[in-house]
Amino acid sequence: MEWEALEAGYSAWISWLVSGALDVFYQGLRWPDWRAEAAALTTSQGLSVVPFLWTKEAHRDLSATSRRAVPMREVLGMAADSSRQMGLTDPGFLGEA
């Protein structure tokens, strides 16, 4: 739930993204047809997933989670609120609602 420093510059980060490492990073957090759901979003939307993807309940069956398109502000605000409630580091401007 906390931001992690990548300790890499922008070009290294882009190389990491196109190398396929992103699939490994998100392994276990994707459900069948996640690509189609993500492709249907506008640039100002994100997916609200309940229960949250980081919970044991969600990992029992990712396909059974409830998902809906919401404004990205809501997704980032929820992440910031959850972090603060758990006493974690504030995620910064990306988490501001």
pLDDT digits (tens, 9 = 90+) for 1-14: 666 777 888 999 89
Instruction: Give 97 or 42, the one with higher predicted confidence.
Output: 42
Averaged pLDDT, 45-60:
93
- The one-letter amino acid code at 41 reads L
For residues 18 and 1, give the distance between their C-alpha atoms in angstroms, rounded to a whole number: 24
Q: Output the six-digit token pair for 84.
A: 């603060």
pTM of the full structure = 0.72
pLDDT digits (tens, 9 = 90+) for 28-51: 899 999 999 999 999 999 999 999
Distance of CA 23 to the CA centre of its chain: 13
Provide DSSP, 29-79. S--TTHHHHHHTS-TTEEEEEES-TTSHHHHH-GGGSEEEEEEHHHHHHHH
